[in-house]
Structure 1
């Protein structure tokens, strides 16, 4: 991951509602959640949620799929994995392979 994308991801997550949305979608796993279910779970207005989902989507932290009249959202775990790898790139005194087991445990193939 390049620094610009890392900054975009971190910026998108640096907001309480967006962080809550992303964490909720991680918990939902591969099934994801509809926008209505996310709004209900977090007690957020639809227009506020829509704006926050757009920001997360632009940062490639979530993706969406239309299901009839609703939209289902999913956490983009590969983007998060890239962000964590970027942040840990120079860890362990220049031996990033020592940190790889940490990355493998943090992000599952959900």
Structure 2
């Protein structure tokens, strides 16, 4: 991931409803959720949530699949991985002993 892509992803996440929608979609992997269900669960009007999901999709953080009249959104875990690695690749200037506590905190979160 390059700097411009990272900026676009962080800009998309720099709004409460979009951040919460992305986190919700991460929790519902691999099946994803219909746009209306995302709106309902987050108590956001459907048209507003559709706009938020479109911003996340343009940033490459979510994918959308149409099935009839329903659009199902999924978090793009590959893009999330690339975004996290954007930071971690330079973590502590390659000094693993300094990154150890960060990685130790991440592993239990991934198992939960």
TM-score by length of 2: 0.84
Pair 1:79-2:74 in alignment: no
Q: Counterpart in 2 of 1:90?
A: 90
Q: Counterpart in 1 of 2:47?
A: 47
Gaps of 5+ in 1: none
Gaps of 5+ in 2: none
Maintained 8 Å contact 1:77/1:107: no
Q: Counterpart in 1 of 2:32?
A: 32
Distance 2:78 2:109 in 1: 8
Look up the SS of the partner of 2:29 in the other structure.
helix
Q: Which runs of 4+ in 1 moved over 4 A?
A: 98-101
> 1:93 deviation in Å?
2.3
Distance 1:79 1:52, change over 3 A: same
Look up the SS of the partner of 2:71 in the other structure.
strand
Distance 2:109 2:81 in 1: 6
Look up the SS of the partner of 2:74 in the other structure.
strand
Cα RMSD (Å):
2.4
Maintained 8 Å contact 1:56/1:62: yes
TM-score by length of 1: 0.86
Maintained 8 Å contact 1:34/1:72: yes
> 1:94 deviation in Å?
2.5
Maintained 8 Å contact 1:36/1:46: yes
